[in-house]
Structure 1
């Protein structure tokens, strides 16, 4: 567990949060034992160089479903860092607008596109095309999307190579979404403003979950992201371990399925901490890379000695159908609390019926 070994000294004063439920405890999983269903006899992953991930942090992405993004030095000249800082400033300008102005960017797609507000937790805007991007965000969002899109495309290509596949075997799903344009994409950029804590107690503002897509890049303006450590069976506040500005990358459920679980989807949540009492909000940038909807899925073409035979093969469907089959099996943490609870109850009933 190289990543955990590296952060052990950094996090020695951080107490793991064992009292919270694991990310799949309140939702229907993809099947019993989904996190350990591939045979131990499979060959190890090939060693690859994941961009902006230190060598000692590389293994954690496959093993845990999350790892740390380390900026190039000097940090202020790193393209990802500088574009994120510009986007944070633009994001604050947008969220400071009167509610009526922000409401103009609300769409019928709900949390999947446009502005949304979840009382008691957060407000956010989901960008998927230039057409519905507010002018306050336009240039900063377009610049960040290009930098983040290139990074995650490269990451996905290296993931493919670790499985003894050509890079194009996986990045074919993401390259069409590498730029923010007039064409709506499956990939999205979400900007969040999370509310502060209540009554001197930490407040969970994003419930435990795993992302649905391929890879997610998360950058916050202060600590709050916690990731599920499957070995310690506890939540680890990863952003508290950062001694200098950094980001996090998370594997999603699409990637887990397309790698036959050789890359695990990373459980995570978002909590406002007590030490943040002097600042009311947490701002967060989340770039979610999803498989481009028209691309056909065929796991036969993704099968190698390293992946082994797929336990849950997918063939003859588009990425659109593939995504929605995953989405239907999990409740949406970005809907209103009442709707979220209803989705949770409906999924529980389906699980019992099965």
Structure 2
């Protein structure tokens, strides 16, 4: 399916995607999709809450959500490009009505994040079920892989690799280099232009053709990640995408559904062989990748290390253990 027609999800239980949409997702690595009403509403609310957070001072933003685990947790600022906050679990969930204004801001932001996380998780889980059916797999193949990922964890002890990230791209200079994501599926929803996906059908080695993603909270871009590509024995392509600058800037919500840390990955369920620890799969999908969400100088250092190791650098979101 070469066009980018937006098809609303049907009411009721799965299947959500038709055969043409599934084929397009597998071959291109991306799909434009009209959102269920619940996710459209929760995303609209979250974009408003995130704008209020980004309007706060740098001191307040850093104080509420200090950066941890590289770019994998908390607030991060990339000069001349973007600022963003990464949620892996709740941090400020117990503030009272008498709490200070910053604490109230964080609590309301996390409540909105939790709702959007749940709604986005259900959408991507439904798509994974469609992929399983189309591959003649039992839906139970996702039970261990998604354990603890579909709702925001209450504490750091319960975290998996899954995350929700809220971006503000700066006007004109805000951008993200071409990359693919690490996880199973990612859903990207933005209030401004800039997100583009690579058209594999019409691109060549000498000419890349980019397609503008839909804008607004009624539609989204769903992307295949490197983990799903690995589980599918590379029968599904990872969706290459980028963000280009525009004069208005861009706010976006990115939910990256990644595999659970609680169980090993049984490749025999997907027609392969062997069982590997979740950490080993995570390391495997990171090989040769550059983190496009870190500072420019850090990206260059990562590329230099890969060159010295004789590897060709490939940009990807967050190659660190535990944009859009």
Pair in the same fold by TM > 0.5: yes
Name the SS for the 1:351 alignment partner. coil
Question: Partner residue of 2:202?
Answer: 232
| Aligned twin of 1:106 | 66
1:1-354 alignment to 2 at 5 Å?
A: 2=1, 4-5=2-3, 7=5, 51=16, 53=17, 56-72=20-36, 78-104=37-63, 105-131=65-91, 134-182=106-154, 183-198=158-173, 205-233=175-203, 234-239=208-213, 245-273=218-246, 277=247, 279=248, 281-303=249-271, 315-351=274-310
Q: CA deviation at 1:296?
A: 0.9
Q: Give the TM-score of the pair, scaled to structure 1.
A: 0.75
| Alignment check: 8 A CA contact 1:224 1:237 kept | no
Superposition misfits of 4+ residues, deviation over 4 angstroms: 53-56
Distance 1:302 1:335, change over 3 A: same
Q: Identify if the C-alpha distance between structure 1 residues 285 and 255 changes in structure 2 by more than 3 Å, giving closer, same or farther.
A: same
Contact kept, 8 Å, 2:268 with 2:275, in 1: the verdict is no
> CA offset at residue 298 of structure 1?
2.5
1:103, CA displacement in angstroms? 0.8
Which residue in the other structure is 1:36 paired with? none
The structural deviation recorded for 1:54 is 6.3
8 Å contact from structure 1 (residues 258, 299) kept in 2 = yes
2:319 aligns to what?
none
Cα distance between partner residues in 2 of 1:136 and 1:59: 39
Root-mean-square deviation (Å)? 2.4
Unaligned 5+ segments in structure 2 are 6-12, 94-105, 313-324
Verify the 8 A CA contact 2:288 2:311 in the aligned structure 1: no
Alpha-carbon deviation of 1:49? 5.9
Counterparts in 2 of 1:58 and 1:153: CA distance versus 1, 3 Å: same
> Does the 8 A contact of 2:79 with 2:295 survive in 1?
yes
Q: Which runs of 5+ in 1 are unaligned?
A: 8-47, 73-77, 304-309
Counting matched residue pairs gives: 286
Q: Give the superposition deviation at 1:225.
A: 1.0
Cα deviation digits, residues 204-256 of structure 1 (max 9, x gap): x111010000000000101211111112113323325x699310100000000
Q: Give the Cα separation in 2 of the matches to 1:260 and 1:210.
A: 17
Give the corresponding residue for 2:321: none
